[in-house]
Amino acid sequence: MIGTTFGSLQVRNYRLFTIGQLIKLLGTWMLFTAQDWLVLQLSDNSASALGVVTALQFTPVLLLTLYGGQLADRFDKRRLLLFANAASAVVATLLGVLVVIGIANLWWVFVTAALFGVISAIETPVRQSFVSELVDKDLLPNALSLSSATFNTARIVGPAVAGVIIALLHDKTGPIFLLTAVLCTAPLVSLARMTPAELYRVERDAIAASEARTVDGLRYVWQRPDLSLAILLVFVVSLFGFNFQLTLAVLARVEFHVDAKYFGLLTTAIAIGALAGALASSRRRARPSVYRVLAAAILFAGFETLVGFSPNFVAAVVLLVPTGFFMIYFAQAANQRVQLGTDAAFRGRVMALYVLVFLGSTPIGSLVIGWCAEQYGPRSGVLVGGGISLIAAVVLGVLQLRRAGGRIHVGLRPRLHVHVHERASGVPAVRPAVR
């Protein structure tokens, strides 16, 4: 089991990549936690201000991610990642210096959040597609899951460490931003130490720069219903359901009246579940079915809705664990379905579209959810996000079944089984959906 779960780490280039990303992401999540706390301090606990800074951080994703995917298909991904991570270190240093010397205000936070967004819009699709160059195709599902596990390990440790540091420094956040700047240099070391000859690259002359057009990537997805359904579902769920950066901060400070240390505990709870979900996905060796993606989305949305009804802080912490599990299980299944179903020549642009809907929907969603939380109470943001995500997953599931001429059969003995029966060319076919 261990060999199956961590098989990709036997590849030197992937191991270097993972170590560098883990260190950097620890700092990134510390920065996000400190940034949210700083915004609440500077805005007198305004949920709308937190929504604005979140929107500014992700708006560049809407504008530049498709261009980032085009760059990923045209140029050396490793070099692009070197430039992007160096830029992250510079911006983190800028914010840290501003806070430490005492001249940072809400507008400076808005500016640096937007700069981080620009860097992320270029770096994320490049990083996503670069994973496919680090391992061979057989190990790619495992590598994708371990990359997700790395991300969520940082989500567990980063916010918790940031919460403790903020509490020890009596609500001071400047040192966290400076520490993040140092940690952002780790990928520079790991990328520089890689062996380029061992990368699994598409031959560069197979993709002429003039032919790597964004519109061709969009057309490619439009002609592939198996890709477009997964991307559409990710768009809706990300738009409304994945706003925990906003909703958890508001729940902690406004609804449950806890300090930074306990705010970190909420984030850690969802990240623990997310890490478990990523590890559960890591043993997958084949492309997940559309029904597995849909079922995971339904379970995630259901648990998120329950978080909105949680009667106290402890109940919220408990419910956030399965919420985090199915959040990343869904996101990882959708990611694997898209990546493993995409031709290598289009992978950068297709993953840019995936990142666009996954992250780029956040500006709109954060404004809507922030407005709901401010007008109707902090719980409403979670309830709206979970409820809309649940409706979308159910509707798309029904449409998929109708299109495929399928039906669902549920058996309870000896354990729960859910099977989807599809009609294909007049011959019934049975596909396992959830076991």
Per-residue pLDDT of 123-145, as tens digits, reads 888 888 888 888 887 788 788 87
CA gap 331, 148 in Å, rounded: 9
Lowest mean pLDDT among 33-37, 149-153, 291-295, 412-416: 412-416
Distances (CA, A) of 260 to 128, 159, 317: 32, 9, 15
Q: What is the DSSP letter of 281?
A: H
Distance CA(407)–CA(372), nearest Å, equals: 37
Q: Average the pLDDT over 103-128 and give the result.
A: 86
Average pLDDT of span 163-167: 80
Residues 319 and 306: beta-carbon distance below 8 Å: yes
> In terms of pTM, does the model score above 0.85?
no
pLDDT at res. 377? 76
Q: What is the mean pLDDT of the chain?
A: 79
- Give yes or no for residue 369 having a pLDDT over 60: yes
Alpha helices in 241-259 (DSSP H): 244-250
The pLDDT-based confidence of 7 (bands split at 50, 70, 90) is confident
- Does 230 or 418 have the greater pLDDT score? 230
* pLDDT at residue number 428: 41
* pLDDT band, very low/low/confident/very high, at 434 (cuts 50, 70, 90): very low
Nearest-angstrom CA–CA distance, 342 and 351: 9
**pLDDT at 298 exceeding the cut of 90:** yes
Backbone angles phi, psi at 309, to 5 degrees: -95, 0
pLDDT value at position 238?
Answer: 84
Q: What is the mean pLDDT of residues 172-195?
A: 89
Q: What is the distance of C-alpha 141 from the center of its chain?
A: 16
The CATH architecture one would assign to domain 2-404 is: Up-down Bundle (1.20)
DSSP 251: I
Q: Where in the chain is the domain with CATH 1.20.1250.20?
A: 2-404
Band of pLDDT at residue 71, cut at 50, 70 and 90: confident
Measured between alpha carbons, how far is 89 from 84 in angstroms, rounded to an integer? 9
